[in-house]
Amino acid sequence: MSFRNTDPADAAYVEDVSPGSGALPPRAWYASSDAASLSLNGRWRFRLSPTADAEDDSFAAPGYDCGDWAEVAVPGHWVLQGDGAFGAPVYTNHRYPLPVDPPRVPTENPTGDHLRFFDLPADWPAPAAPDAGGEGGAVLRFDGVESCARVWLNGTDLGEFKGSRLPHEFAVGHLLEPSGNVLAVRVHQWSAGSYLEDQDQWWLPGVFRDVTLLHRPAGSALDFFVHASYDHREGTGTLRVDSDVDGRVLVPGLDIDVETGQVITVPVRPWTAETPHLYDATLVTGGERVPLRIGFRTVVLEDGLIKVNGRPVLFKGVNRHEWHPEHGRALDLATMREDVLLMKRHNVNAVRTSHYPPHPAFLDLCDEYGLWVIDECDLETHGFTGQGWRDNPVDDDRWTPALLDRAARMVERDKNHPSVVVWSLGNEAGTGRGLTAMAEWIRGRDGSRLIHYEGDANCRDTDVYSRMYADHAEVDRIGRGLDGGPLGRRRLPFILCEYGHAMGNGPGGLADYQRIFEEHDRIQGGFVWEWIDHGIRDERYGFAYGGDFGEELHDGNFVCDGLLFPDRTPSPGLVEYKKVVEPVRIEGDGAGGTVRVTNTFDFADLSALAFAWSYEVDGEAVETGALDVPALAPGETADVKLPEPPVDGRGAETRWTVRAALAGDSAWAPRGHLVAWAQLPVSERPLVSVPASARPAPDGRGGITLGPGVFSARTGELTAVDGIDVVGLKLDVWRAPTDNDDGASWQPDARHGPLWRTLGLHRMRHRLEAVEPGEDALTVRTRVAPAAAEVGLRTVYRWTSDGTRLRLTVSVAPEGDWQVPLPRLGIRFGLPAGDRVRWHGGGPGEAYPDTAAASMLGRWEATVDELQTPYVRPQENGARADVRWAEIGQGAGRPALRVEGEPEFWFTARRWTSEQLDAAEHLTDLTPGDTVWVNLDHGQQGIGSQSCGPGVLPRYRLRVRPAEFSFVFSTP
Ligand code: GAL
């Protein structure tokens, strides 16, 4: 055993553009086989140094005394461990947190020395045979280390590597001892590799994926490639498993027992994301039996379309970064499975592994449960955009070996997954020869999949025209083939690899996109940006985001832009997406009693679904029953008759709700799980009639009474209804701007949040012009306007009563030249804190004009706290749409105030004001007061997606124009 005391200057490899040295060639990854393996995950000894060469590498020598070292968990990121003792995470979007001086990195380069001591299990095959390139012996596998590592085993320097989210293996059989093995790993936060890993996420150094010792029996395959295609015309699958050693392939379910390299064609059930049929198989070589799960499917580009098994597919996708609020990108299997289950349960059918190959076990889950995967290489050089892409590594031949290494490590690792249908070269890396070299290499190695890369508008190297955040109109033009240019000549399918920026409240406009996707064959869907908020659990902030660790450069809460909150609670955005992409279209004529059902799956029929109707009177189901829908094939439509309405709903609002739910348990959700639904109105809601029979009268205490209402005679303000105190009821136009209202700084379009603030909509003044008690009404005339502006809203509150109910009609007449839409238009008031709210209207979750697809009309109930949506950065949230009536403040012995709207209104209630919500930076800044603040809105501005993408579509903007709306107050 020799120990080489390396010169600290050897840390030069850190700044070397090469991918590294000493590692074995890449090969297919598999979770297990009958060969012995030993997980080296667990507690490792750890020492952090401020620079790459502050410490010599004597720690790697057996016998080194690490007595005073700390410990970290592997897999893990050291910056998320040690309570701040090991530095902190840094979040930047595309700015490099290092000087752009490729391939050099700052001397301040946090370096983590890791030590793991292990004995071989008693039954470890002995004696360790010589490695001879892996033939017999053992390999040490690192599934992911950020950003650069050097490895020693028992004092022998094995080599070093970069490529954080890619596996690296070393031959170690000749070095293993039965006991007392010392594995030493030195990890640098920054390296030349960091220039290739400028993804929009936290910078999180560490050994963050598994470390495993694998026995490689003599005669086992170095690598194997499963080719399993499907001929949809013949209904047959063709299988060939290539391997560098001869062996057999057994597929009991197909009676296959063939030699490796041999081609066999048999009738099979194909694999698709909707019907993920896998055949259990075994690759038997001289030294090892490797379990395989084979999915037969064929991906081609044909007629300008991406086709699988002969049919075009429509991606209903998400972009998935790996994220856990405590462990960062160190994900356990349960968390990966949770992601897959959540996707399946929300009708998501595709994942882009933005922007690096995920933990390999995630792809096993995609095979098993069925998701189309765009597997993306660990490559992004976005920070070079700041210098017009000068020095971009992808256009500099010196870096090409590193790029090819990354491409090969991805393809070799993941090539046996049926779920992977497209390889992606990377993200936002500009253009250059290196990308072309990657594409050429990939095509040569695996012609059975398509190639994607968004960053080259000419699609020189790709099979798919891909864009991010193109607006609706442009996608529609592309769909119509009106986009011209180089792509017009080469007919390529189109996808939005990113759209619907799910930052904070939103994204808005998903349903409008989906309509366009479904209208044009050429548009093959999109991938919402992104799956999960990367908030870090934190005592002080709840969930921390950029800047919360004192980073000198950061991009704030742009890292929280997912459909899941950091703890994986679905946000309203995911609920909306589920509805928008539901695989069954249910339409029809409620009054006529027919439902039209269309199967929008690409492959599956509807036999897995059971349909049911319910008949609702004023929001309450009075009867339900099964609806007999045939097991339609993909694309088929059927008209189905509804029963006779079970009750006479005259004088009430009535509707059918039709639901499609799982008829039996599936792998990803239990029987009864709701997949798709629609509501078909039968009769409309009657008007709310309140004859103005009561008269305003002085109450003798300086107030005015009108029916159940008490008003201030001086200000005309409502102070109580039936003994319930009411404070500050007045017109309200302000909402705490959402991330999408604020918009991204680069957006050329109007960014409404800042415009609203400049105009002063958050500090409106209310000028009282008259309080006019009349014969049958109390009229209060006001002008509502911001300081320093001439625009205003002349607002008249007209109160009437029938003696028991109080009706308010608000008339708003704009004055001046309003250049911006309003955030909201309605009234706001405070009530003494009460718990429960009941309403008839849209629910159960929040909705805004362009995020209302999933809002289901019905009777709902919630506490005020449950009405809040916990966006990581507080902002407008929680509105319920189309509310007919709401009863606020039930429970705790308090009477409820009932409000009916004419027309229907947006309802919001919270324990803080919009101003407090606006001022808060984290949820922990919000403390409930003893007033519940209620907004009843006639209008809300849509949400859009302008935190990165397009703004609010014109039809969802709250234009300033004359408006009139009423509310009726009473106590039930
Ligand atoms: C895209 C990028 C993503 C993410 C997103 C904004 O440009 O590819 O990584 O930064 O914008 O959240």
Determine whether 428 is an active site residue: yes
With a 6 Å cutoff on the Cβ, whether 533 touches ligand 1 is no
With a 6 Å cutoff on the Cβ, whether 498 touches ligand 1 is yes
Q: What is the C-alpha separation between 825 and 821, in angstroms, rounded?
A: 10
Given a cut of 50, whether residue 1 has pLDDT beyond it is no
Instruction: Pick the atom of ligand 1 nearest to 558's CA.
Output: 12
Mean pLDDT of 412-432: 98
Mean pLDDT of 693-710: 95
What pLDDT is stored for residue 127 in this prediction? 54
Q: Helix, strand, or coil here: 839?
A: strand
Mean pLDDT of 388-400: 98
With a 6 Å cutoff on the Cβ, whether 288 touches ligand 1 is no
Mean pLDDT of 620-644: 97
Nearest to 11 by CA among 153, 107, 140: 107
Given a cut of 50, whether residue 971 has pLDDT beyond it is yes
200 CA distance to ligand 1 middle (Å) = 6
334 CA distance to ligand 1 middle (Å) = 27
CB atoms within 10 A of CB 267: 10
CB atoms within 10 A of CB 852: 22
What pLDDT is stored for residue 507 in this prediction? 98
What is the value of pTM for the model shown?
0.97
pLDDT more than 70, % of the chain: 97
Pocket test for ligand 1, best of 198, 467, 498 (most atoms within 8 A of CB): 498
With a 6 Å cutoff on the Cβ, whether 200 touches ligand 1 is yes
What pLDDT is stored for residue 235 in this prediction? 98
Nearest to 468 by CA among 501, 497, 425: 497
* Cβ-Cβ contacts under 8 Å for 764 (sequence gap 6 or more): 731, 733, 734, 784, 785, 786
355 CA distance to ligand 1 middle (Å) = 10
Confidence of residue 128 (pLDDT cuts 50, 70, 90): very low
pLDDT tens digit string along 158-214? 999 999 999 999 999 999 999 999 999 999 999 999 999 999 999 999 999 999 999
Confidence of residue 133 (pLDDT cuts 50, 70, 90): very low
* Strands (DSSP E) found in 566-706: 584-589, 594-599, 609-617, 620-627, 637-641, 654-662, 674-683, 697-698, 703-706
Determine whether 322 is an active site residue: no
Out of 15, 197, 412, 498, the active site residue is 498
pLDDT tens digit string along 804-861? 999 999 999 999 999 999 999 999 999 987 789 999 999 999 999 999 999 999 999 9
Q: Which two tokens stand for residue 807?
A: 């009706």
With a 6 Å cutoff on the Cβ, whether 454 touches ligand 1 is no
For residue 963, the surrounding DSSP H or E stretch is strand 963-970
349 CA distance to ligand 1 middle (Å) = 21
| Mean pLDDT rounded to a whole number for the chain | 95
pLDDT tens digit string along 339-390? 999 999 999 999 999 999 999 999 999 999 999 999 999 999 999 999 999 9
Nearest to 946 by CA among 751, 793, 735, 796: 751
Instruction: Pick the atom of ligand 1 nearest to 948's CA.
Output: 6
**Burial label, 589 (beta-carbon count in 10 A; 0-12, 13-18, 19+):** middle
Question: Which residue, chain included where needed, has tokens 């609002």?
Answer: 653
With a 6 Å cutoff on the Cβ, whether 502 touches ligand 1 is no
Please check whether residue 957 is in contact with residue 709, taking contact to mean a CB–CB distance below 8 angstroms.
no
Out of 428, 576, 653, 876, the active site residue is 428
CA 614 to chain CA centroid, nearest Å: 32
Mean pLDDT of 949-961: 97
Pocket test for ligand 1, best of 91, 92, 93 (most atoms within 8 A of CB): 93
Q: Helix, strand, or coil here: 265?
A: strand
Mean pLDDT of 37-51: 97
Q: Which two tokens stand for residue 74?
A: 């592997």
